[in-house]
Structure 1
Amino acid sequence: MSSIEAPILSIKNVHKQFGAGCSTCQDQTGRALIKNYCKACGTVYACQDISFDLYPGEILGIVGESGSGKSTLMRCLYFDQEVTSGEAYLSQYEGGEKSLFQESSQKKRYIRNHLMGKVYQNPLLGLKMNFSSIGNIAEKLIAAGNRNVGQMESRGKELLEYVNIPDYRMKEAPKNFSGGMQQRVQIAKALSNNPPILLLDEVTTGLDLSVQASVLDLIKHLQRELAISMIIVSHDLGVIRMLADRTLVMLDGKVIEQGLTDQILEDPQGPYTQQLVQSLL
């Protein structure tokens, strides 16, 4: 990654809250919150003023405990939820001049189907469990406008082979697969239209250690082979250490520290980040 290279994705001042807020929690000077929760009205400030850039070919890690806002941020980036406010610019969309969050539902679908792929923590959110594995990939291709059955089958086989799904299981439904194999099918589906950006949300959570290792090896292989830009979210700093070039640390809806992953591991600044690093030792 060159220091003078332009970012492929720029996120600016993203806020996401659940609830309308009240006078108690909307007073920015003396906001009375318990972590990121307003006891008076029940509003949760899940993401608070999040800004970062993602560069071509980079893996950006986002680490934090459960409830820190990292998965909410990923849902907002993939339009699974609407932001409360903020901007997002993608260099390969409208020359990077239009905020993605302000676009119509139709244009957001185009962005999801052509310019981004997402792998969910829960495969039920990313896969049709009763479709065949090839059928899942075809679904994504159809959403992007492909109607050629032969091309879709060929592309499906190519991708499933790439993520090490055996040929004889490609027409099998993911409901019959292990968790690790389901994640591999999700990865293949997310890559089906060659998106420049891949979002990975807690993709190894709940998997056995050996299966985790094989999925992480696959992600590293994909990045080397395809030079795709990735954002990977995890509560496990060990996963981030293995994959990420740079890292954001989130706590209570805020980015509290960011920098090169090696730098954060060697010289964590805040007490929470120090605690995370200490847990690796």
Structure 2
Amino acid sequence: MKTADNVALCVRNFSKHYGEGCAYCMESDAVLDRNICPECGTIHACSDISFDLHKGEILGIVGESGSGKSTLMKMLYFDQEASSGEYHLADFLDGEADVLKLSSRQKRQIRNEILGMVYQNPVYGLKMDFSAISNIAEKLIASGSRNVGDMTATGDHFLGKVNIPLNRKFDPPVNFSGGMQQRVQIAKALSNYPPILLLDEVTTGLDLSVQADVLELIKEIQRELGISMVVVSHDLAIIRMLCDRTMVMLNGSVIEAGITDQILEDPQHAYTQQLVYSIL
């Protein structure tokens, strides 16, 4: 299998389960209690998920807490290992390799050079006691940079792009507000110009005005750099603002997918209808 010319990321039959599984729940037609096997108690956090992320596209993933959307993101960034499936990246070995089968060293290379990640909690994406510029340097060093002057210039560029005052670049993120911490995370994730950016609930817990600033920043970066993005949120208003296409997840499965406007204007699944009507 190889990615199509216009596809940046391709996932087929991605699954993640916690537990051994049994003959009953490993069958495709098994009836689970939400996403838990009634026979053996195995939790099927993600079940048989397939999708493409097109080049230059923002794909939204929406669903309630426990729907599996954050687990999916962790598998895409190798924070968790998938139980089964295939995963191809156009910018790694021309999209021909199933990156789930690669060595740990090759997966680190992909994290450092092809993927950028922005977590809901900045603690997972930043060293909170290191300076903002040092956090960016860490990402650049991991991707092969060695020239201090070049790394400083890159750090200054991206901190400026996310509106962090350069007179605070030596401050540690622990001294920043939540919105500023998220912007430093975004700067760090972008610093080596990755073709794909993953954003997991990046505005949760932020004040509304700060949310608006972060969302506008994401849109501006996508327009300027043409990066492909996957945006996870439980908030359809955020998905409406950012995303070209949307997948709706429930109990570990994708229950509906399509162009965002179509999903919002004519939802087909009862759960999606409930989501859409709740924001009207």
Provide the TM-score with structure 2 as the length reference.
0.97
For residue 196 of structure 1, what is the aligned residue in structure 2? 195
For residue 66 of structure 2, what is the aligned residue in structure 1? 67
Asked whether the equivalents of residues 268 and 274 of structure 1 are also in contact (C-alpha less than 8 Å), the reply is yes
SS at match of 1:16: strand
Deviations 1:26-62 (A, max 9, x none): 3433x24210012443211011110000111100000
Deviations 1:207-253 (A, max 9, x none): 11111000000000001111110000000011000000000000000
SS at match of 2:7: coil
Query: Do structure 1's residue 227 and structure 2's residue 219 form an aligned pair?
Result: no
For residue 183 of structure 1, what is the aligned residue in structure 2? 182
CA separation of 1:235 and 1:209: change in aligned 2, threshold 3 A: same
Distance in 2 (CA, whole Å) between partners of 1:223 and 1:25 is 41
CA apart distance, 1:5: 5.5
For residue 19 of structure 2, what is the aligned residue in structure 1? 19
Say what the alpha-carbon RMSD is for the aligned residues. Answer: 1.1
For residue 272 of structure 1, what is the aligned residue in structure 2? 271
For residue 58 of structure 1, what is the aligned residue in structure 2? 57
CA apart distance, 1:91: 1.1
Query: Do structure 1's residue 9 and structure 2's residue 9 form an aligned pair?
Result: yes
Q: How does 1:1-281 map to 2 (within 5 A)?
A: 6-29=6-29, 31-281=30-280
Distance in 2 (CA, whole Å) between partners of 1:251 and 1:194 is 33
Deviations 1:39-86 (A, max 9, x none): 443211011110000111100000000000000000000000000011
CA separation of 1:12 and 1:27: change in aligned 2, threshold 3 A: closer
Distance in 2 (CA, whole Å) between partners of 1:175 and 1:40 is 46
Deviations 1:244-274 (A, max 9, x none): 0000000000000000000111100010000
Q: Which structure 2 residue ranges, 5 or more long, are not aligned?
A: none
Q: Which has the higher mean CA deviation after the structures are superposed, 140-149 or 19-28?
A: 19-28
SS at match of 1:37: coil
Distance in 2 (CA, whole Å) between partners of 1:145 and 1:155 is 14
Asked whether the equivalents of residues 121 and 203 of structure 1 are also in contact (C-alpha less than 8 Å), the reply is yes
Task: Report runs of 4+ in structure 1 exceeding 6 Å deviation.
Answer: none
Amino acid at match of 2:142: A
Asked whether the equivalents of residues 37 and 44 of structure 1 are also in contact (C-alpha less than 8 Å), the reply is yes
Deviations 1:113-163 (A, max 9, x none): 000100000100000000000000000011111121111111111110010
Distance in 2 (CA, whole Å) between partners of 1:35 and 1:71 is 17
Equivalent pairs counted in the alignment come to 277
Distance in 1 (CA, whole Å) between partners of 2:156 and 2:49 is 39
Q: Which structure 1 residue ranges, 5 or more long, are not aligned?
A: none
SS at match of 1:61: strand
Amino acid at match of 1:124: V
Distance in 2 (CA, whole Å) between partners of 1:92 and 1:5 is 11
Distance in 1 (CA, whole Å) between partners of 2:229 and 2:218 is 9
Distance in 2 (CA, whole Å) between partners of 1:272 and 1:137 is 40
Distance in 2 (CA, whole Å) between partners of 1:48 and 1:111 is 24
Distance in 2 (CA, whole Å) between partners of 1:57 and 1:27 is 36
Distance in 1 (CA, whole Å) between partners of 2:213 and 2:276 is 23
Asked whether the equivalents of residues 5 and 55 of structure 1 are also in contact (C-alpha less than 8 Å), the reply is no
Amino acid at match of 1:261: T
